[in-house]
Structure 1
Amino acid sequence: MWMLPSIFHLANSDDDGMVSHKLEKMRSILEESMLENRPRLPCISLSKRNRAVVRALNPMLVTYLEASRDLCETDSILFGAALAVCRIIGAKLPVAGRATQKSSAIPT
């Protein structure tokens, strides 16, 4: 499991190897998240810690977005990034298979 305090202190670390390893782990989570089914994402607070995760992932997105050929690909990249943030910060995600079930609730 990814350790949140380590992410928060990425900018303050003097060990370039450790930072590089953590960023590669984040990139791996990002790439996996872009390929998966789309669960419903929770709202997350904009705490300092969560913003640090987003700031760390932002530069990684440039490569994918520049290579994007259409809006569908761009949508998948951005959704994957949002899912990666949720996974990295440990946000509760729906159990696999529930994302595609239709709700019986009447919309407002």
Structure 2
Amino acid sequence: MVEQPANVDAAVNTSVVVDSNDDGTVAQELELENMRSTLEEAIVETRSTPLENRPRLPCIALSKRNRAVVRALNPMLVTYLEASRDLCETDSILFGAALAVCCIIGAKVSTAGRAIGQSSAIPSWRRRIEECIAKARALIGRLMCFRSGNNRPRIVRTVRMAFSGTNVSLSQPDITQKLTERIDDLKQRIAAWGKRIRRYTERS
């Protein structure tokens, strides 16, 4: 009779501990199932979305929680990767996994497609080159007008600015040759600038 309460207490305590572990296991399984569902939805969405319309993924911090999410999703990818038929499909799977990680940890994902952002953002160096090309073409036009006999004040002022810093005078006998040399030099610069833009476009 003295030992009976102790045995009852031990049984109660044991049952409580077991129930607590069961609840933790069930909660963990539910969480993994939700992650698996999120991963599957992300991969399906990525496969059906063109490459240029995929969202921009943010850089996430390598915290303990984020690392744990990645470690939990890694084993789930095995089935998808083993069934992958080519590199494009593998890329979709990995991008979908990255998207699933962002959704699970609550990271903000941009809905704007990558191609739209890239097309609207023209590099500053390209804008400068295009402005130089436009100015050079306008200068070539005025130099050719002056060479053909157009002596309007605006044309003359532009030609003088083109030869500023040199010993060239507009009244010297070989001014026509100097104008031709200046025009050829500008044309070569325009061609070189155009090649830079084409090389960049081809690499892109």
> Normalized against structure 1, the TM-score is what?
0.78
Superimposed CA distance per residue, residues 54-103 of structure 1 (whole angstroms, 9 cap, x where no aligned partner): 001001001111111111111010000000000000001113xx225244
Runs of 4+ in 1 over 6 A off after TM superposition: none
1:25 and 2:34 aligned: yes
Deviation at 1:106, TM superposition (A): 2.1
Q: 1:38-77, aligned counterparts within 5 Å?
A: 38-77=54-93
- SS of structure 2 residue aligned to 1:92: coil
The structure with more radius of gyration: 2
Instruction: State the alpha-carbon separation in 1 of the partners of residues 32 and 123 from structure 2.
Output: 41
Q: Write the distance in 1 (CA, Å) between the matches of 2:38 and 2:90.
A: 17
Name the count of aligned residue pairs. Answer: 94
Q: Secondary structure at the match of 1:101?
A: helix
Distance in 2, matches of 1:107 and 1:17, equals 53
Q: 1:101 maps to which residue? A: 116
CA distance in 2, matches of 1:61, 1:28: 12
TM-score, length-normalised on structure 2? Answer: 0.43
Which residue matches 1:91? Answer: 107
Larger RCO of the pair (alpha carbons < 8 Å, separation 6+): 1
Cα shift at 1:45: 1.0
- In 1, the alpha carbon distance for the partners of 2:44 and 2:110 equals 17
Which residues of structure 1 form unaligned runs of 5+? 1-12
Percent identity over the alignment?
Answer: 71
